[in-house]
Structure 1
Amino acid sequence: MARADWDPEDLPDLSGRTYLITGSNAGLGYFATEQLAGAGAHVIMTGRNPNRLASARAAVLRRVPDASVQTLLLDTSNLGSVRAAAATARTRGGLDGLLLNAGIVHPPKERELTMDGNEVVFATNVLGHFALAGAMLATLAKARGRIVWLGSMSTSMWAYDPVDPQLESDYSPWRAYVQSKVATTALGLEADRRLRETKVAVRSIVAHPGYSTSGRTIGIHGVNEPSRLTRFTDNLQVAFTQSKDRGAWSLVRALVDPAVEGGELVGPRFVARGAPRRATPAKITRDLEIGARLWGVCEDAAGMRWPFGRAAAASK
């Protein structure tokens, strides 16, 4: 990614393109939706709460009156919901990009399981997205599209090797979060290797938003309504934080900049804040053994294999 003149506030015309974003009802997913729709793209907004999803769509239409946005119920912690949403999405036509954004940022104090029997943070942040990307792979391949996985700068500060991805023996909320981001990034890089090997014309890219806080983000009814205390405390960190809309810049660049290649990481210039640029993934996430091991774990837990052969045929 050599291009240095990317302007996140002046995106190229995206008319005719379609993107699906998980967790679109708030935070980074909402602002990525706004930015893509503002550039002319059609966006499928997904979330698990129908009321919050409807409120977010209404907010997009207030702020971008000519936006083309649809909603789709999707709970990434529930594999049945993932399969149902993917089946519906495939009937809605082509797909140029999939942004795997939804996730738990503040994990429960005690380990919890989903109805599928998976640890809830791993299920929500990692496993559901692995299953969704696999289910949409052939559709993405037809458009020579992209998969963007949401990483975190925390992976460079805590090297948690996910030898126990379901955290059956050593659960803590922080470990659950960071380990899920190590897994997400490692899987994004592993997906790129496998897509290249099988000649599937889909780019797998990782993006991270830096340190983006709601208290430094514009208030939007039904989407971002931080308390006065949150505004006060977040603004004390102005030197090393940024707003959620700026955090979404890296995600959007990873989705639409033609100069971004598969296997790259896009993040803020100053790590925690700044305009999006190429970054270096944490060493642990680049470990080939870890990537291959996690891929097998996800295949078994999700009960699926990515259809590389069918996707390769769709790429031609």
Structure 2
Amino acid sequence: MAWDPAELPDAHDRTVVITGGNAGVGYFTAEQLAGAGVRVVLACRDPERAESAVAAIRRRVRGARVEATPLDVTDRASVDALAESLLERERVDALVLNAGMVHPPRERRTDRYGNELVLSTNVLGHFRLVARALPALERTDGARIVSLGSLASRLGSLRLDDLQLERSYTSWRAYSGSKIAAQVFGFELERRLRAAGSGVASLVVHPGYSTSGRTPGVRGVNQPSRAKRFADNLQAAWTQGKDHGAWVPVRAVLDPTLTGEGYLGPAGLTKGAPASGRATRASRSPRTGARLWPLLEAASDQEFTVR
């Protein structure tokens, strides 16, 4: 099916929750969905940045229906509170798992529960959130869970014998491993949803190589320096703005022809319109998914049985 990011279908009947939607690809996903009529909920850690994003969307999209709600994905109480609030909503059409740490610390750090911080931010909080909020999506026909993967999944490995990187931490291993784990989770969730006969789909996507310096300026959201603009534009042949990176999760939310069996990314791998692509063998491996699942349950202190 041809897909035009500039001609989105009307979606006024839908409600979509985006974690970490106050900046980057998450913000532009929210703005574009709001332009299609979607009621957008930004689940964000920083309330001031969240309100800036809400104000920007309302300023840039006439009649936008957008709101912010608190979420710190490294805090179980915060995750649980969001899940409870979603269960009280009449409908949740999509949950976009976008929040994440892009620039990991040089030295290994942990959250308050002892989990490695990048894994906690990029995977564990979302695992717990989906486990608890899934009934809210089950009530809505055609609901979707969209996991944001990364091209970094092609350049690293997932160390199941040292998932928390207690013996082998580097910032790159933390980031690439967390993104592989996010993709493995998304594909394994889809297998379990299908086995359970669920009407919810789990889709895994990646936004290509999207940089802030090639992204339109938005007051209070994206204001890169001239130096950043100059440096990022030197890479224009293989990069794109985060607004174009958002085309991929937006299509994953709105395109009724997509299923969880696919993998969506830019047509040119690093840039371009959203199109079907190939995930790594490690990300798609049922064996890896089956081994990772109980490790995520233990680390997030959350049993997750898909019924």
Superposition TM-score, scaled by structure 1 size? 0.95
What does the per-residue CA deviation read over 1:31-72, in whole Å, with 9 as the maximum and x for residues that have no partner?
000010100010111110010101110000000120001110
SS at match of 1:154: helix
Q: Which runs of 5+ in 2 are unaligned?
A: none
Q: Distance in 2 between matches of 1:46 and 1:283?
A: 31
Q: Distance in 2 between matches of 1:70 and 1:277?
A: 30
Q: Distance in 2 between matches of 1:276 and 1:284?
A: 22
User: One-letter code of the match for 2:14?
Assistant: R
User: One-letter code of the match for 2:28?
Assistant: F
The two structures, once aligned, show a CA RMSD in angstroms of 1.1
Tell me which of 41, 45, 49 is aligned to 1:44: 41
Residue 110 of structure 2 is aligned to residue 118 of structure 1: no
Report if the CA contact (8 A) 1:161-1:284 is conserved: no
Residue 6 of structure 2 is aligned to residue 9 of structure 1: yes
Report if the CA contact (8 A) 1:31-1:245 is conserved: yes
Aligned-pair identity in percent equals 48
User: One-letter code of the match for 1:68?
Assistant: R
12-21 vs 152-161, greater mean Cα deviation: 152-161
Match of 2:105 in 1: 108
Residue 150 of structure 2 is aligned to residue 147 of structure 1: no
What does the per-residue CA deviation read over 1:128-185, in whole Å, with 9 as the maximum and x for residues that have no partner?
0111111111111111300000111121233344432211110000110000010000
Q: Distance in 1 between matches of 2:161 and 2:221?
A: 36
Q: Distance in 1 between matches of 2:162 and 2:7?
A: 43
Tell me which of 188, 192, 202 is aligned to 2:190: 192
SS at match of 1:104: coil
Shift of 1:307: 5.0
Report if the CA contact (8 A) 1:148-1:206 is conserved: yes
Q: Distance in 2 between matches of 1:307 and 1:90?
A: 17
SS at match of 1:136: helix
Q: 1:307 to 1:289 in 2, by over 3 A?
A: closer
Report if the CA contact (8 A) 1:208-1:267 is conserved: yes
Q: Distance in 1 between matches of 2:69 and 2:218?
A: 21
Tell me which of 224, 237, 240 is aligned to 1:239: 237
Report if the CA contact (8 A) 1:79-1:116 is conserved: no
Q: Distance in 2 between matches of 1:70 and 1:91?
A: 16
What does the per-residue CA deviation read over 1:4-33, in whole Å, with 9 as the maximum and x for residues that have no partner?
x11111110001100000001100110000
| Equivalence map 1:59-98=2 (5 Å) | 59-98=56-95
User: One-letter code of the match for 2:86?
Assistant: A
Residue 273 of structure 2 is aligned to residue 253 of structure 1: no
Shift of 1:308: 2.6
User: One-letter code of the match for 1:140?
Assistant: L
User: One-letter code of the match for 1:56?
Assistant: A
Q: Distance in 2 between matches of 1:274 and 1:284?
A: 25
Match of 1:32 in 2: 29
Shift of 1:78: 1.4
SS at match of 1:240: coil
What does the per-residue CA deviation read over 1:181-230, in whole Å, with 9 as the maximum and x for residues that have no partner?
10000110000110011111110000100000000001111100111111
Report if the CA contact (8 A) 2:158-2:181 is conserved: no
Q: Which runs of 5+ in 1 are unaligned?
A: 310-316
